Amino acid sequence: MSEKTSVLNKAKKLASDFWNGKPHEERRLGDLYLDKTGLYKHREWRGFKDTMYYFNMIWLYNYGHMVTDIMKYGGGLKGLPLFLKGVWRYRWLGQTYLPVMHWYDRGLEGMRGEGLRASAWHYRAMTSETIRQFMRMLAADQKTGGSKELYDRTPAHDETVWGGIFYPWRDRMDDVPLQMIPYFVTCHVNNHVVLNYIDAAQSIGLPGDPCPMCQAECGIFLQDDVPEYYPFVITSNEACDGSVGTSVIQDWMMDRPLFAMPQPMQFDDPLVQEHCAREIEECWKFIEEQSGMPMNMDELKKHLEEQNELQRFEWEKWDVAANTDYYPINGVAQALYRIYQSQDGNREIWHETDKKVRKILEKCVEKKINSFPKTRHRVIAWSCAPLYYSHWCTWAYNCWGLNCIINMDSLMFDMTIRTDTYENMLMDMALYHEWAPMRRMAVGGMHHIFELWENMEKFHCDMVMMYDQLQCKGMQGVHGLFEDEFRARDIHAIWMPHALPDKRTVSRSEIRGIINDYMTTIMHEKPLDPTLLEFDDSEGW
């Protein structure tokens, strides 16, 4: 009987594993990796439904769209040769576009059901918007024979100048940030590429200690790897010293009309708003002068109202994330989508995605579906994340049950913009501009960085993943006070050292080691999947 039962049980188990996928503790995801490369011996079996979903609706769907989007945004079939030329000319494009599905794999590892679907839609939106941006760059690029007419209608801006500044011309021009794709997106998809740019910056004598993000953003220009798609530029300070410094080198390399629109630092001060609002107006006059196109206020209002819709849905998402166990979006999808969307501004793809995600979100809440059932700790991630390991939260959940609910970057733009009067609109736009990515909680007074405590409470988090960007002077300058506060408040906080885009300073493996040490020695916990504790992905994308 026992043998028969045992065989039967085995068969049942096999059938269950085939249909549902293995239970979390039996997955052994670490066994799937090929040493060092981050490649898979074979991809994960997530159960029949989810594997088929991943294969059809993520892998095939996105590979397909990676071709059709090129045509969609590149003006039909002619988009394909344009794209190929770009791949051949620009390192950041060639080396990051093709392995993009591995970026999905890393971020969505171990995920199932609604969580997998909702997070994948976020990834899909970012991929689509990235294609849109670089196809516009290429279509207007004078280095690879792009259209002069498009060149005249494609202003460039620093990635922390909010796309909303250009809303009054969105019916005639299309603004493209300078570093968003060549630098920011690149780091997430293929972390090797950016190293060329950091080295390029240091090759002209720049010391190694300034923020490596700024170094990389300078190096792209020094390597002559930025498409020449723009007749003029709007730049900003990205509200940090290193970025101001970078602008000097960038300006030299760009060598074209440049309007500086720095974000004021003391943004709590009501006196600052008026000044910033006037800066925006000056910027608009500069754009009018350079482009010869007057502003369209209706267009501005329309886009702002649409952007407000995106913000309202984000608030709904935060509400579900904060107050229920049914939030279906994982930490990395939440962080990257939100920072991308809020900085980029109003685009059709964000609305399409939010519509799909809303359905999933509502379903999860109605049916009480917990996409992260193995959550042991609700984690809030604070300060700026390692770009080469933004998917650490996927690993941390799979290995330790650390569920990253929310992060600092997501919470930056916590506002809608009034459109009832010109004055109100301008004032709100000024404030939005001041709350630039990475900055709202980092400058303008230390109390902003300590908003962590109220957000911990709001999102019911019991643990902090404290990003420790080793070359960020602002965050390093407040290190000790955080230590003191963590002790005084008896908060479990894991310091995660990193150098933003530069994996050579602290590798992914070292980051995992730090988390492992904390979880075993301080928390005395056992891993959910011990095969994920240690593995070598040093050569992986």
Residues 466-485 that bind another protein (CB under 8 A): 470-471, 473-474, 476-481, 483
Looking at the Cβ atoms of 479 and 526, the one nearer to another protein is 479
User: Do 426 and 277 touch, CB atoms closer than 8 A?
Assistant: yes
**Contact region with another protein (CB under 8 A), list: 52-60, 67-75, 405-413, 416-424:** 52-60
Site for another protein in 492-531 (CB under 8 A): none
Contacts 24+ apart (CB under 8 A), 95-99: 95/186, 95/190, 95/192, 95/193, 96/185, 96/186, 96/189, 96/190, 96/193, 97/66, 99/189, 99/190, 99/541
d(C-alpha 538, C-alpha 541), whole Å: 8
User: Do 74 and 132 touch, CB atoms closer than 8 A?
Assistant: no
Looking at the Cβ atoms of 226 and 402, the one nearer to another protein is 226
**Number of CB atoms found within 10 A of residue 62's CB:** 18
Site for another protein in 277-316 (CB under 8 A): 278-279, 281-282, 285-286
CB 509, min distance to another protein, A: 18
d(C-alpha 343, C-alpha 352), whole Å: 17
User: Do 360 and 322 touch, CB atoms closer than 8 A?
Assistant: no
Looking at the Cβ atoms of 76 and 480, the one nearer to another protein is 480
**Contact region with another protein (CB under 8 A), list: 126-134, 219-227, 366-374, 375-383:** 219-227
One character per residue 227-266, x = contact with another protein (rule: CB under 8 A)? --------x-x--xxx-xxxxxx-xxx-x-xxxx-x-xxx
User: Do 179 and 158 touch, CB atoms closer than 8 A?
Assistant: yes
CB 218, min distance to another protein, A: 8
User: Do 330 and 394 touch, CB atoms closer than 8 A?
Assistant: yes
CB 43, min distance to another protein, A: 6
CB 398, min distance to another protein, A: 18
Binding another protein (rule: CB under 8 A), the pick from 66, 71, 98, 491 is 98
Question: Which H or E run contains 493?
Answer: strand 492-498
Looking at the Cβ atoms of 23 and 445, the one nearer to another protein is 445
> Can residue 210 be called a binding residue for another protein (CB under 8 A)?
yes
β-strand partners of 139? none
417 token code pair: 């913009």
d(C-alpha 232, C-alpha 152), whole Å: 9
CB 145, min distance to another protein, A: 17
Question: To the nearest 5 percent, what fractions of the chain are helix, strand and coil?
Answer: 60, 5, 35
Looking at the Cβ atoms of 162 and 337, the one nearer to another protein is 162
> Can residue 274 be called a binding residue for another protein (CB under 8 A)?
yes
CB 447, min distance to another protein, A: 8
**Contact region with another protein (CB under 8 A), list: 2-10, 86-94, 315-323, 381-389:** 86-94
Site for another protein in 396-455 (CB under 8 A): 443-446
Looking at the Cβ atoms of 252 and 453, the one nearer to another protein is 252
One character per residue 26-45, x = contact with another protein (rule: CB under 8 A)? -----------x-xxxxx--
Phi, psi (degrees; rounded to nearest 5) at 237: -85, -5
Task: Mention every residue, 6+ apart, whose C-beta is less than 8 A from residue 168.
Answer: 284, 295, 296, 297, 299, 300
Looking at the Cβ atoms of 76 and 292, the one nearer to another protein is 292
CB 207, min distance to another protein, A: 5
> Can residue 362 be called a binding residue for another protein (CB under 8 A)?
no
CB 281, min distance to another protein, A: 7
Q: How does strand 258-260 pair with strand 233-235?
A: parallel
CB 260, min distance to another protein, A: 4
419 token code pair: 């459109």
CB 160, min distance to another protein, A: 13
Looking at the Cβ atoms of 151 and 495, the one nearer to another protein is 495
Looking at the Cβ atoms of 7 and 52, the one nearer to another protein is 52
User: Do 526 and 22 touch, CB atoms closer than 8 A?
Assistant: no
Binding another protein (rule: CB under 8 A), the pick from 204, 297, 415, 522 is 204
- Angle among Cα 290, 295, 296 to the nearest 5 degrees reads 150
Q: How does strand 377-382 pair with strand 402-407?
A: parallel
CB 482, min distance to another protein, A: 10
CB 243, min distance to another protein, A: 8
Looking at the Cβ atoms of 126 and 430, the one nearer to another protein is 430
Looking at the Cβ atoms of 31 and 149, the one nearer to another protein is 31
User: Do 238 and 474 touch, CB atoms closer than 8 A?
Assistant: no
Looking at the Cβ atoms of 120 and 206, the one nearer to another protein is 206
CA distances from 239 to 172, 385, 452, 502 (A): 30, 17, 20, 21
Site for another protein in 53-82 (CB under 8 A): 55, 59-60, 63
CA distances from 174 to 96, 228, 245 (A): 23, 15, 27
CB 368, min distance to another protein, A: 32
DSSP string, 318-362: HHHHHH-S-----HHHHHHHHHHHHHH---HHHHHHHHHHHHHHH
Count of residues in contact with another protein, rule CB under 8 A: 85
Looking at the Cβ atoms of 424 and 476, the one nearer to another protein is 476
